[in-house]
Amino acid sequence: MAASGMLSTFRLPPLPTIREIIKLFRLQAAKQLSQNFLLDLKLTDKIVRKAGNLTNAYVYEVGPGPGGITRSILNANVAELLVVEKDSRFIPGLQMLSDAAPGKLRIVHGDVLTFKIERAFPGSLKRQWEDDPPNVHIIGNLPFNVSTPLIIKWLENVSCRGGPFVYGRTQMTLTFQKEVAEVTHHRKNSSSAAAVVAAAHYKGSHLKRQQLWRYLKSGVLDTLTKKSTMPQNDVCLLTMKVDVGVVHFTPLVQPRIEQPFKLVEKVVQNAFQFRRKYCYRGLGMLFPEVQRVESTGKLLELADVDPTLRPSQLSVSHFKRLCDVYRKMCDEDPHLFAYNFREELKQNKSKTQEKEDDKERDRL
């Protein structure tokens, strides 16, 4: 483990560029994993600067890939960098970085969704939740297929102060699809369930795109189209066809919605069940069919929410009132929170099928 008292500035020795690493190990962004490569080190330096002063910090990087952001983190003079990479193709390139930065870089070949970080760093780094954030940071250019489940997992960790948050209010600097990233502007409305839940637990700042998508798209295309057997349009799909935002998160001492995480998640996810319809349609799925109309009306009335708003037009304050009212309704009816409309649909279909089977038997 690297000593935390070093005063000299660490710089990586001359190494092959990320573009050369990609060519050397014949790496290609995997479409099924929603991977993208950051080749411009000026851009990765900018992303890392968004995390703040990392001198002597302990950093956990998720999804390092060929190591663009990894290099920028190491050059920020961190005490130790832990990277977790699921794709074995990237391990040799990361090992080159580890050899060039002895004692600085620790590589774990594993899945960020299951990796246990609770004991990865020294216990002396832990801080009380009400104190300033610890000198522990999470940084990552996330594949978009895991960004939503991962942030939801971390949000739940925040609520119980587990996972990366055993050290205190660990800060995170992550790339996201733009619609998720924009929630950190604290807009009046948000376009995804994950964005609303994130806004309830974090304060954040949004790094202007600076045409981040352009670097991702043109950089990988320049590399892959030369030897790729896939049509160029397919290579575009392997990179980026969506806008990207870089977000710096700091957990709130007190969440904006002070209800159990599972309750907040249930209300928000149900509201977004039918994102193009009025919000009462999705919120109605919180209640059994026999009482759906009455209970949904009561929920919206007590929460002072216009039933003709669409889910994307609901603000965090709307959801706060909805969650508070729904909690009271669950307290009055202990079976309500366990209700799942999908289970009721299955039971209704099963009963309908049984009736049809009975009629068929009667005809025979």
52 assigned ligand-binding residue: no
Write down the residue that tokens 């290609």 correspond to.
Answer: 28
Predicted TM-score (pTM) above 0.95? no
What is the pLDDT at residue 311?
A: 94
* pLDDT average, residue stretch 124-150: 89
261-345: which CATH topology?
Helicase, Ruva Protein; domain 3 (1.10.8)
E strand or H helix at 249: strand 244-251
E strand or H helix at 27: none
75 assigned ligand-binding residue: no
Pairing state between β 202-207 and 105-109: unpaired
Res. 289: pLDDT tops 60: yes
pLDDT tens figures, 195-210 = 777 778 777 665 444 3
E strand or H helix at 58: strand 58-62
Write down the residue that tokens 């209704």 correspond to.
Answer: 348
pLDDT tens figures, 239-278 = 334 456 778 888 888 888 999 999 999 999 999 999 899 9
What is the pLDDT at residue 219?
A: 31
What is the pLDDT at residue 32?
A: 58
63 assigned ligand-binding residue: yes
What is the pLDDT at residue 202?
A: 73
141 assigned ligand-binding residue: yes
pLDDT tens figures, 78-123 = 999 999 999 899 999 999 999 999 999 999 999 999 999 999 999 9
Residues 6 or more apart whose CB falls under 8 angstroms from that of 7 comprise: none
204 assigned ligand-binding residue: no
Strand ranges (E), the chain: 58-62, 80-85, 105-109, 136-141, 171-177, 202-207, 244-251
What homologous superfamily is domain 18-185+220-226+235-249 in, according to CATH?
Vaccinia Virus protein VP39 (3.40.50.150)
- How confident is residue 34, by pLDDT bands cut at 50, 70 and 90? low
Q: Which two tokens stand for residue 266?
A: 């249930």
The domain spans of the chain are 18-185+220-226+235-249, 261-345
What is the pLDDT at residue 2?
A: 44
111 assigned ligand-binding residue: yes
- Give yes or no for a contact between 99 and 141, defined as CB atoms under 8 angstroms apart: no
